[in-house]
Amino acid sequence: MAKLVNKTKVQELFKSYTSNYNPEDPKISLKIYHTHRVAENSKYIATKLNLSEEEIEIAWLIGMLHDIGRFEQIKRFGTFNDGISVDHGEFGADLLFKDRLIEKYIDTREYDQVIETAIRQHNKYRLREGLDSKTELFSNIIRDADKVDIFRVQVEEPIVGIYGIPFEEIQKQTLSDAVFEQFKEHTAILRDLKKTKLDYYVSHFSLAFELVYPCSKQLTKEQGYLKKLLGLKVENPETQKQIDFIKKEINSVL
């Protein structure tokens, strides 16, 4: 029986699509590797949730396509900052479903609504209310899978390339009061609250509060990247106390 999603074909199409962008740009190479990692995370989560083989294939495909808008975003705007460019989830979904790019990746249109919504919603602060149970399921899978790999990105990718300054400079900064206070609420940090580079760096830790599925939390622990992030040492003693508090709060939910 033929598979719903031809994995080899999808990977070849994705490689062909991304070849149109500068492979020497570290932002492009970062997102290519991130895409493959998120797809595998999605497959892992869907498998652990005991979904059908077909549903696992769809979860993997959403992972492969969730950041498709990032490449054109970088080409046009030179930044991953959605606030000063475009919402990359909406932009990617438009490329796939308004420009019909999706038709190259999967023949059936049965899952179009689920795939489109999951991609549009993957980067939102909160899921849109009123989603049907299947769409909500796939949206939560990609959101969890993405967050789990963001922990890896913060550990493995060059800090200068992400934040524009060396890690040693980030360690000299302090946390904004509003950012620290929101950690006490056990929620992801709102973009508008972030002022310093340390705010942006530490805010990624808060994604752990938003993981939906126990298997996503388990995957996070198995991969070990968040644990490395939580070992952060900074120069300011009072800021270090805040970091230690944050570590304790995050460990309490994992």
Going residue by residue through the chain, which has 254 residues, state the pLDDT in tens, using 9 for 90 and above.
Answer: 568 999 999 999 999 999 999 878 888 999 999 999 999 999 999 999 999 999 999 999 999 999 999 999 999 998 888 888 999 999 999 999 999 999 999 999 999 999 999 999 999 999 999 999 999 999 999 999 999 999 999 999 888 878 889 999 999 999 999 999 999 999 999 989 999 999 999 999 999 999 999 999 999 999 999 999 999 999 999 999 999 999 999 999 99
Domain housing 251: 165-254
Same domain, 227 and 126: no
Same domain, 97 and 176: no
Same domain, 13 and 89: yes
Question: Is the distance from CB of 90 to CB of 120 less than 8 angstroms?
Answer: yes
Using a 10 angstrom Cβ sphere, with 0-12 exposed, 13-18 middle and 19 or more buried, the burial of residue 70 is buried
- Residue 28: count of CB within 10 angstroms of its CB: 17
Same domain, 83 and 145: yes
Same domain, 18 and 52: yes
Same domain, 177 and 153: no
Q: Which two tokens stand for residue 40?
A: 């595998």
Please tell me the distance from the alpha carbon of residue 41 to that of residue 60, in angstroms, as a whole number. Answer: 8
Please tell me the distance from the alpha carbon of residue 159 to that of residue 162, in angstroms, as a whole number. Answer: 5
Question: Is the distance from CB of 30 to CB of 164 less than 8 angstroms?
Answer: no
Mind giving me the DSSP string for 44-104?
HHHHHTT--HHHHHHHHHHHHHTTHHHHHHHHHHS---GGGS--HHHHHHHHHHTS-THHH
Question: Is the distance from CB of 117 to CB of 131 less than 8 angstroms?
Answer: yes
Please tell me the distance from the alpha carbon of residue 129 to that of residue 113, in angstroms, as a whole number. Answer: 15
Please tell me the distance from the alpha carbon of residue 234 to that of residue 173, in angstroms, as a whole number. Answer: 8
Tokens 């609420």 locate to 185
Please tell me the distance from the alpha carbon of residue 221 to that of residue 16, in angstroms, as a whole number. Answer: 34
CATH of the domain at 81: 1.10.3210.10
Residue-level pLDDT at 26: 86
Please say which residue of 157, 174, 209 terminates a domain. 157
Same domain, 215 and 242: yes
Using a 10 angstrom Cβ sphere, with 0-12 exposed, 13-18 middle and 19 or more buried, the burial of residue 107 is exposed
Q: Which two tokens stand for residue 202?
A: 């530490």
Residue-level pLDDT at 65: 98
Question: Is the distance from CB of 82 to CB of 91 less than 8 angstroms?
Answer: no
Using a 10 angstrom Cβ sphere, with 0-12 exposed, 13-18 middle and 19 or more buried, the burial of residue 58 is buried
Please tell me the distance from the alpha carbon of residue 84 to that of residue 237, in angstroms, as a whole number. Answer: 34
Mind giving me the DSSP string for 134-157?
HHHHHHHHHHHHHHHHHHHHHHHS
- 209: which DSSP letter? G
Angle between helices 68-77 and 88-97 (to 10 degrees): 110
Domains in the chain, number: 2
Residue-level pLDDT at 27: 87
Please say which residue of 117, 132, 157 terminates a domain. 157
Residue-level pLDDT at 23: 79
CA 1 vs. chain centroid, Å, equals 33
Same domain, 118 and 15: yes
Please say which residue of 157, 176, 209 terminates a domain. 157
Same domain, 27 and 101: yes
Type of residue at 64: M
